[in-house]
Structures are given as C-alpha cells and as structure tokens.
Amino acid sequence: MGAPLRVVIDTNILVRGSIERSIPHNNIMSLMLLRQHYLLLDFNGRLRKQYHDNVGFDIYFQKWYKELQTKKRLQWFNGCPGAKLKEELRKRNLHDKVDQIIVALSLNGDKYVITEDSDFGKGDSPKAAQQRILLEYLVNDLNLTVHDACEARAKL
C-alpha cells in the first residue's frame, strides 16, 4: 500500500457505488476509507452540493461521507479554474462548471480524478469518443491521471 492520495471523485462514481451498489464503484468508496485517501472538495461547496443533490439521500453515502469527515479525510481547496485553464477547457468542450471545478481541484491534489463522465472522454459512448481531445489534454498537458472505477481500483 502506497501513501494516501488526494483524490477528486466525480458524482457519477458515487451514484453507481452508493445507489446502484455496483461492485467496482462501491470498491472505490471502500478503498478511500481503507487506504486513508483524501477526498478533495472546493471551498465554495459546489462539488459537495452536487454530491448531496444526487446521492445525499442515500444512507450508504451518508455513512461514507460522515466517516470521511470523522477521520479527517476531507480537504478543501480552491476549485476555481484560472482564466487560462477555463479557456483551454472550454475550447475542448468542457463547459460544465462542476466538471471545471473537478479539474481545478485535481491540480491542487495529486492530479488524480475518478470519473466515468463522457464529458471527460471516458466510456464507450460516441460523446466520449468526441471528448478524447479533452482527455489527451488533461493527461498530456496537465499531467492528470483520469481513471474510471475499474482503473482506479488498481491504483487505490
């Protein structure tokens, strides 16, 4: 087991892990606690709000989040992308503000994002294929690691 990572998790991973109880996604949530990784959130609370809007009603999510709080495994950073980064993300069709926050947060952590969002170029959908240029930018230019749940299980 390596050193704990400071990770940004997209809401879609938590929905699948908590509500749908998908094994790979649920494993991500468990590994965050077992391996003592940190979950990164933005000072303005936009990512946390999205979590709570989409999975906040789920008892499993509530317990998971509470345990992260109790174990002091939450870290807050500036999630506002600078003007240059925001422009680069927009040029590559990443317009959603929370998605932009995810990128900005990851740059303040260990540059590690777990997502299955086609907006990030992940998955097998036609939209994901169109967004491969964004994924290449994130990986090659920003040096981020962008993993889906199965990839992240091996890393965490």
**What does the pLDDT read at residue 131?**
86
107-130 mean pLDDT: 89
Q: What is the pLDDT of residue 81?
A: 95
User: In this model, does residue 1 exceed pLDDT 80?
Assistant: no
Q: What pLDDT shows up at residue 90? A: 95
Average pLDDT, the chain: 94
pLDDT of amino acid 2: 75
Kind plus residue range of the DSSP H or E element containing 145: strand 145-147
More confident position, 123 or 7: 7
Mean pLDDT of 31-49: 96
Distance CA(106)–CA(19), nearest Å, equals 25
145-147 β-sheet, strand order: 74-77, 38-42, 6-9, 112-114, 145-147
Domains of the chain, each with CATH number or no CATH: 6-155 (3.40.50.1010)
Q: What is the mean pLDDT of residues 35-61?
A: 97
